[in-house]
Amino acid sequence: MAVFVVLIAVIGFLIGWVFAYATSDESSIDWLVPTYVMVGFLIGAGLYSLFVYTQVTNILMKSANAHQLQESDDPELFNIVSDLAMVAHIPMPAIYQTDDPSPNAFATGRDPKHAAVAVTKGLREMMNREELEGVLAHEISHIKNYDIRVSSITVALTTFIAGAGTVLIVSGISLIRGGRWFSWFGSDSDNDSKSSWAIAIGILTFGLIMWIGGWVIRGIGVPVAQILQFSVSRERESLADVSGVNLTRDPQGLIDALTLLKNDTTPTDNPTAKSAALYINEPVTKRGKTPFLAKMFDTHPPLDDRIARLKRLLGEK
């Protein structure tokens, strides 16, 4: 989380430095400009994170195309979640389901009092009660351990960085287009024409700097932020496996569930969902799980490692 803050501060400072350098007529740069931009970025990230923090359930459930269930819709599912919530000493979370055929589940919310659990249609149809209990215990552990709060903030900060890059790209394109036509509004005199061209070149240059800066953020800042987000996700997933077993006292249920997920190749129908990093298992796309940059962009530890860790709880090798 500290590195996230540093990353946003660095991005803001560098953007401010580029603007100060481009608009400076002197050899020295006014360092107050990048400082103010950096502070503005940090304040903007804080406000955006606060917004996402309060609305994270609605945002992620909408992204996942999930609908809320009532107890009459799935009594067994409600019974399992209710029992686990009682053992974990947390309030009953809201329960959602998506129509995704790929088996998966995730938990979200800002705290145990404002939490929700979602399962996919594929998971509900694939698993028996013991396996489903293992998966849901894993998700309840995320709620009990406040992992959902950490994940909400990391999702917000990653989205903020991506959004900052997009805003700069769009603003840069708008300035470039505006600069092309600015010289047309000058008068017929040579001095006015030269002045109009000078202003137009300045606008074009400024727009080009913003456009390049936006792509630098998208190409470097966003991947770094994703690496940080996925690193947090991998750590919390490993802890939730063991914590979930502490709730059920039955490692075999989660072992069987993870084994089913390991052998399943059903692709998700929503690969761009913002909640993908929160799933119990990394979603499979139509192209499969891409080993891009080795394991740096994996949202979860390898299932083989997670299963082996749980088997050690049973005394198996």
Give the residue numbers annotated as catalytic, written as ranges: 139
How far apart (Å, rounded) are the C-alpha atoms in residues 226 and 230? 6
Closest CA to 1 of 114, 116, 111, 152: 152
DSSP state of 25: -
User: How many C-beta atoms surround the C-beta of residue 275 within 10 A?
Assistant: 24
User: How many C-beta atoms surround the C-beta of residue 123 within 10 A?
Assistant: 28
How far apart (Å, rounded) are the C-alpha atoms in residues 314 and 317? 9
Query: For the CA atoms of the chain, what is the radius of gyration?
Result: 25
Closest CA to 118 of 276, 315, 313, 297: 276
Paired residues of 68 in beta bridges: 96
How far apart (Å, rounded) are the C-alpha atoms in residues 134 and 123? 12
How far apart (Å, rounded) are the C-alpha atoms in residues 92 and 126? 24
Closest CA to 222 of 154, 132, 172, 301: 154
282: buried, middle or exposed (CB in 10 Å: 19+, 13-18, 0-12)? buried
User: How many C-beta atoms surround the C-beta of residue 243 within 10 A?
Assistant: 19
How far apart (Å, rounded) are the C-alpha atoms in residues 76 and 193? 77
Six-digit token string for 257: 């569930």
Closest CA to 236 of 153, 118, 116: 153
